[in-house]
């Protein structure tokens, strides 16, 4: 199975939602209380994904709201510099600030993120600032869960989804669950389910699907049984080091294996996975190959310090896949 995309569109993908600042600990293997030095990067799941896809050679755009401050200008300049179209990045004029994420790298297995998300500019994207003429130029619209946490951003996302479906633009929902901006599990579940049922492709971890279903022990079978009664054609459920599974509405199941690498930190894996997986789909590769691209990209990014800046090239991804294939042959 391959996802049928509208070929005559200017943009391969347009994302909507969160663009913020990541401040990653430069000093490894120590708690944040003892960390004195951080390095600044662009962050936010949908921003990272389109940055990754732009670096892979695709034409990407972004709809969002930035603070009228130094951080907002840094984000716009960086994204434009790597080839992302930023003409739909609106500047907030009401004093809201840029979201900040401080990361802690205690060990490769023990990483955490300290978020500042109160009253941030990206959550104030107004539905009136979502442009139909822009969305209809895309093959794919990517939405992520954090943009659903508050109004006005929530309504802006629902408008974007409506316009995408109206104009034959495929909707990809990357669950991107971050608990700190949500009021309750019931609220999260309601809005996640509403979007997932309208999406063409849904991507997330098993834990994120559990959040959507408001349960602790969900199964892949129950998830796909429900969602395939609605719009989704393809559902990707990630299980960390155990790999990932892709399910198609027609009943096919594909298993993707995680690639072993020297892990520096765990964050950034999901965004890099999504960017390379979607790149492969847009490039007309089959789902099995797309899973390999996603896994390889994630392995590369968790071995490096940043998320956005570490997004790999096609050559790096294909090199890792080739090396992995050699190891399998050698061990047979």
User: Per-residue pLDDT tens for 184-197?
Assistant: 999 999 999 999 99
Of residues 103 and 156, which shows the higher confidence score? Answer: 156
pLDDT for 148 beyond 80: yes
pLDDT for 32 beyond 70: yes
pLDDT at 162: 98
pLDDT at 8: 87
Contacts of 4 (CB under 8 A, 6+ apart): none
Residues of the chain with pLDDT > 70, as a percent, come to: 96
pLDDT at 332: 46
Q: DSSP E strands: which ranges in the chain?
A: 11-16, 20-25, 38-43, 60-66, 85-91, 100-105, 111-116, 138-144, 170-174, 201-205, 234-238, 244-248, 253-256
Model pTM? 0.94
Domain 11-18+45-71+84-90+124-330, CATH class in plain words: alpha beta
Mean pLDDT, residues 13-39:
93
Q: Are 55 and 82 in contact (CB under 8 A)?
A: yes
Of residues 300 and 84, which shows the higher confidence score? Answer: 84
Instruction: Label residue 329 by pLDDT band (50, 70, 90).
Output: very low
pLDDT at 155: 98
d(CA 264, CA 318): 21
Mean pLDDT, residues 237-257:
94
DSSP output for 175-222: ----GGG-S-HHHHHHHHHHHHHH-SEEEEEHHHHHHHHT-SS--HHH
Mean pLDDT, residues 154-158:
98
Mean pLDDT, residues 66-84:
97
Angle at alpha carbon of residue 90, lines to 87 and 96, rounded to 5°? 155
Mean pLDDT, residues 115-139:
97
Mean pLDDT, residues 19-34:
91
Reduced to 3 DSSP states, what percent helix, strand and coil does the chain have, rounded to the nearest 5?
A: 40, 25, 35
pLDDT per residue over 36-52, tens digit each? 999 999 999 999 999 99
Instruction: Label residue 327 by pLDDT band (50, 70, 90).
Output: low
Of residues 105 and 74, which shows the higher confidence score? Answer: 74
Compute CA distances 54 → 3, 138, 182, 224, whole Å.
20, 14, 30, 30
């Amino acid at each position: 199975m391959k996802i049928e995309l509208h070929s005559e569109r200017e943009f391969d993908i347009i994302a909507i939602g969160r663009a913020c600042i990541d401040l990653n600990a430069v000093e490894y293997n120590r708690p944040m209380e003892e960390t004195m030095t951080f390095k600044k990067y662009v962050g936010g799941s949908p921003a990272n994904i389109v940055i990754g896809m732009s670096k892979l050679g695709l034409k990407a755009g972004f709809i969002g709201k930035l603070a009228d401050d130094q951080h907002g200008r840094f984000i716009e300049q960086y994204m434009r510099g790597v080839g992302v179209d930023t003409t739909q990045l609106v500047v907030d004029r009401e004093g809201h600030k840029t979201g900040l994420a401080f990361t802690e790298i205690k060990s490769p297995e023990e990483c955490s993120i300290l978020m500042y998300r109160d009253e941030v500019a990206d959550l104030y994207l107004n539905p009136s600032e979502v442009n139909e003429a822009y969305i209809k130029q895309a093959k794919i619209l990517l939405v992520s869960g954090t943009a659903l946490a508050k109004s006005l951003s929530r309504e802006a996302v629902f408008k974007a989804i409506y316009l995408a479906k109206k104009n034959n633009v495929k909707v990809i929902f990357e669950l991107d669950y971050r608990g700190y901006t949500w009021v309750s599990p019931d609220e999260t579940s309601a809005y996640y389910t509403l979007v997932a049922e309208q999406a063409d492709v849904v991507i997330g971890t098993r834990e994120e699907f559990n959040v959507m279903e408001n349960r602790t022990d969900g199964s892949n079978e129950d998830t796909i049984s429900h969602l395939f009664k609605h719009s989704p054609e393809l559902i990707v459920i990630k299980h960390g080091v155990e790999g990932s599974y892709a399910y198609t509405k027609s009943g096919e199941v594909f298993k993707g294996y995680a690639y072993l690498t020297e892990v520096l930190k765990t964050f950034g894996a999901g965004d890099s996975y999504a960017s390379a997986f979607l790149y492969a789909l847009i490039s007309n590769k089959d789902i099995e190959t797309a899973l390999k691209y996603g896994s390889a990209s994630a392995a590369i990014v968790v071995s490096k310090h940043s998320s956005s800046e570490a997004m790999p090239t096609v050559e790096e991804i294909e090199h890792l896949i080739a090396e992995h294939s050699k190891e399998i042959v050698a061990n047979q």
